[in-house]
Structure 1
Amino acid sequence: MRIGIVLSETPSYSETFFTNKIKGLQKHGFKVILFVQRKTPEFNLCTVQLAPKVYKYNLLLMLMTGFTVFLKLVLNFKRSMEFIKLETNIGRPYKQILKNLYNNNHLLAANLDWVHFGFTTMALQSEHVAKSIGAKMAVSFRGFDLDVYPLKHPRCYKLMWSQVNQVHSISNYLLQKAYSIGMPKSIPYQIIKPAIPILGYLEKHDQSKVSVFRMVTVARLHWIKGLQDTLEALAILKSKRMAFKYSIIGSGEQYESLKYAISQLGIEDYVILEGQKTHEETMALVKDSDIYIQYSYSEGFCNAVLEAQGSGLLCITSDGGGLKENIIHGKTGWIVPKRQPKLLVEMILHVINLPDEEKNTIRGNAINHVKSNFDVKNQAEQFVKFYSEFVN
């Protein structure tokens, strides 16, 4: 079976949910092809097909690329005409149809059994591709797709709902969110939660006595991650004369505002913006910490919290989105109501002051939780069923 996965670019160091999926499908004999706009030189897991580029300011490159695209469209004339017909039937403006025909050229030339858009937003303006090439269409729900994008673009998925054959959600929270914004309950779905490789995440955390508690968060610097509230909680913690260090691993648009907040709150000596790290560097910093914090307003699920639990960290999260399906409160970590920094600092103090025996029990529970419920092998088998046992 040939699976085409559509992404904006080849998976980065942090997107282990995509690399794990590709490896799992390949082990089961599936042919996986990535369709992307950008490819990183180091990516070599599977075949990659690049979308045609748009050259606005280089006439020669624009003409050369345009000729190549035109040639492919001619060679796939029947598919191209089917795509145009489907686009025309919904009343899409002709200029937009031509643009969509150009941008989807690499997909229209592919021979696939499934076209799977790795993010729901990736399916926009490509809703008719799968039907045009005689393939089935799937989309995956991620946090941004359902929590953020529809806020600015209401009813953005109306056409997509009518074309998709099956959806994949990483949490029940996102599935219910999809229903709330218009997804018909007749659409087949499977909830396949993220998974992480067990080997390498099961080392016991260093339990030696430390005078400075180390806390860490792995997140892109975005408002939805609740980092401003986390910093406010840490300013309160500082006022209680607690010795701690807090690292934020990740990059993003909120870098300057977070730097400003750190300065205004007077916690420059306590907080480090680590920037973007490789996955290996990230896990080394995580394993060197005592407490993992993910105080987001919402998460689709959050792989980073899984990896923190699997590393034996004491995890504190918000109750935002799918995090309640990730952490078992009081058993593998703790859940705090979002947007309440005072409650967050109370929980941090509670965890710090727990007896060592209770901390060790939570660490052990967290490791076993990940090992039992979020194994890569099981996830791969679920995706095999997703594609192989589909009944429309």
Structure 2
Amino acid sequence: MKIALVTNAFPSVSETFIYNHAAGLRAAGLDVTVIAARPSRDGHMFSDFDGLKYDGPIVQAILSGSAGTSLGRLAGHLSGAGARDIALWQRARKLYGLNRRAFRAWLLAMPLAGFDIVHFEYSGLAIAWIDALPLLAGSRLVTSCRGAAEQITPLAVPERAGALRKIFGIVDRVHCVSEDMRTTCLRYGLELDRAFINRPAIDISRFKRSTPYVARTAGPYRLLSTGRLHWKKGVEFALIAVRALVDQGLDVQYEIIGAGHDEEHLRFSADDLRLNDHVVFAGKRSSTEVRAALERCDVYLLPSLSEGLSNAALEAMAMELPVVTTTAGGMAEAITDGVDGIIVPPRAPDRMAAAVSALLADGPRRVAMGRAARGRLEEAFTLERQIRVYLAEYDVLGRSPPRASGSC
């Protein structure tokens, strides 16, 4: 079975879950090709990656990068063009006429042609490729729904709601990362029997402690958040919680790993809250460096306002850390409050501070909660389980009748 995974940049240090998806499918014996919408800037950050390796092809989409780069890719592709590319062009002309839309659809479709299954890792990518989808006769189409593209974008860009409805009517299957995400997608016309849930997964052979968790009884206590610096991650509320902890006389250091457009805002907030001696902005780090930071940490914070189901929090749980998370998205599907983590409402820094303070005052509870978190990961969030679900879905799709040309 030939599978194309369509993603943004590959590999990406902020999307190691997609790297693991591709590597896991390859390890299971599938013929996998990654189609990248734009070039990666993170390749060097995988030089120390000690997990399952992806060793398959990475193909850049023709329409990625500058116009000159796209023309170069087109020329390279056309030099080996055959009957399949000619047939794609004929379909594009029949559907759209002899115009720019037909030409663009053809360019988008060419790298995806000939695969049994084309899986878009984000619904936004499926929408970007929407004109190309009717050209992919014989391919079964899957899109993943992971978070902001479904929870936030339709609220800010009303036409996105219509685009989601259209995509949900075109693709064969819709992968949702949580029950909460499926509920969100149902609002935009997703048919229940077209959806499947496959929750995020962690390579627990990589994310495991090299030394036992030690419950420190005195500061400095290390708090940690990891992920893209975006307002939806709610880091400003964690900063307010840290200010409350400092005001209680607790010696805490809060490390923030990640980069993004919200960094300037967060740096200002940390300074305005007089936290410069307590907060470290560590920038983007490799997966191996994140794992080392987790091992140094006492409590992990996930202050998000919006989530599908956080891979970052699952990594912390795998490292036997007590996690304080909000109820955002599907987090309550991963964590049982008071057992393998603590759940607080979003935008409630006082509640987050109280939860952290209680954990820091009770070392044995931190140890027990961390062990329970690891057990929860081993039970329900392993990479092996996730790959089995994908394989079962792909197998059913592979045996289903192919879509007729132009039926989208």
Which structure has more relative contact order (CA 8 Å, sep 6+)? It is 2
Give 1:272's aligned residue.
280
Asked if the contact 2:213/2:320 (under 8 Å) is kept, the reply is: yes
Q: Once the two structures are superposed, what CA deviation does each residue of 1:189-237 show, in whole Å capped at 9, x if it has no partner? A: 2111111122243323123433211100002110000011111121122
| AA matched with 2:4 | G
- Residue pairs, 1:1-392, within 5 angstroms: 1-36=1-36, 37-39=38-40, 45-53=55-63, 67-68=75-76, 75=83, 76-87=85-96, 94-107=99-112, 110-127=113-130, 129-133=132-136, 134-151=138-155, 152=157, 153-186=160-193, 188-203=194-209, 204-354=212-362, 356-390=363-397
Asked if the contact 1:69/1:102 (under 8 Å) is kept, the reply is: no
Secondary structure (helix, strand or coil) at the match of 1:257 reads helix
Structure 2 stretches of 5 or more lacking a match? 47-53, 402-408
| AA matched with 2:114 | N
Q: Once the two structures are superposed, what CA deviation does each residue of 1:356-390 show, in whole Å capped at 9, x if it has no partner? A: 33222212111111111111111111111010023
TM-superposed CA distance for 1:53, in Å, is 4.5
Deviates more, 1:113-122 or 1:69-78: 69-78
Asked if the contact 1:230/1:341 (under 8 Å) is kept, the reply is: yes
TM-superposed CA distance for 1:63, in Å, is 6.0
TM-superposed CA distance for 1:124, in Å, is 1.3
Figure out how many residues of one structure are paired with residues of the other and give that number.
Answer: 382
Secondary structure (helix, strand or coil) at the match of 1:111 reads coil
| AA matched with 1:80 | W
Deviates more, 1:23-32 or 1:44-53: 44-53
Structure 1-normalised TM-score?
0.90
User: In structure 1, how many angstroms separate the alpha carbons of the residues matched to 2:385 and 2:101?
Assistant: 42
User: In structure 2, how many angstroms separate the alpha carbons of the residues matched to 1:165 and 1:57?
Assistant: 33
TM-superposed CA distance for 1:72, in Å, is 6.3
Structure 2-normalised TM-score?
0.87
Asked if the contact 1:130/1:136 (under 8 Å) is kept, the reply is: no
| AA matched with 1:181 | Y
Secondary structure (helix, strand or coil) at the match of 1:154 reads helix
Secondary structure (helix, strand or coil) at the match of 1:246 reads strand
| AA matched with 2:197 | I
TM-superposed CA distance for 1:73, in Å, is 6.5
139 and 87 in structure 1: CA distance in 2 versus 1, 3 angstrom threshold:
farther
Deviates more, 1:149-158 or 1:256-265: 149-158
User: In structure 1, how many angstroms separate the alpha carbons of the residues matched to 2:132 and 2:253?
Assistant: 50
User: In structure 2, how many angstroms separate the alpha carbons of the residues matched to 1:112 and 1:273?
Assistant: 43
11 and 68 in structure 1: CA distance in 2 versus 1, 3 angstrom threshold:
closer
User: In structure 1, how many angstroms separate the alpha carbons of the residues matched to 2:142 and 2:276?
Assistant: 46
User: In structure 2, how many angstroms separate the alpha carbons of the residues matched to 1:263 and 1:181?
Assistant: 41
Q: Once the two structures are superposed, what CA deviation does each residue of 1:262-288 show, in whole Å capped at 9, x if it has no partner? A: 111111101111100111111111110
226 and 64 in structure 1: CA distance in 2 versus 1, 3 angstrom threshold:
closer
57 and 20 in structure 1: CA distance in 2 versus 1, 3 angstrom threshold:
closer
TM-superposed CA distance for 1:104, in Å, is 3.3
Secondary structure (helix, strand or coil) at the match of 1:217 reads strand
| AA matched with 2:175 | H
User: In structure 2, how many angstroms separate the alpha carbons of the residues matched to 1:57 and 1:16?
Assistant: 29
Structure 1 stretches of 5 or more lacking a match? none
Q: Once the two structures are superposed, what CA deviation does each residue of 1:291-328 show, in whole Å capped at 9, x if it has no partner? A: 00001001110111111111111110001111111211
User: In structure 1, how many angstroms separate the alpha carbons of the residues matched to 2:149 and 2:129?
Assistant: 15
Secondary structure (helix, strand or coil) at the match of 1:25 reads helix
Secondary structure (helix, strand or coil) at the match of 2:324 reads strand
158 and 201 in structure 1: CA distance in 2 versus 1, 3 angstrom threshold:
closer
Asked if the contact 1:114/1:130 (under 8 Å) is kept, the reply is: no
72 and 84 in structure 1: CA distance in 2 versus 1, 3 angstrom threshold:
farther
Deviates more, 1:140-149 or 1:68-77: 68-77
User: In structure 1, how many angstroms separate the alpha carbons of the residues matched to 2:356 and 2:383?
Assistant: 31
Asked if the contact 1:6/1:122 (under 8 Å) is kept, the reply is: yes
94 and 245 in structure 1: CA distance in 2 versus 1, 3 angstrom threshold:
same
| AA matched with 1:242 | L
User: In structure 1, how many angstroms separate the alpha carbons of the residues matched to 2:308 and 2:376?
Assistant: 19
Secondary structure (helix, strand or coil) at the match of 2:305 reads coil
Asked if the contact 2:207/2:319 (under 8 Å) is kept, the reply is: yes
Asked if the contact 1:128/1:163 (under 8 Å) is kept, the reply is: no
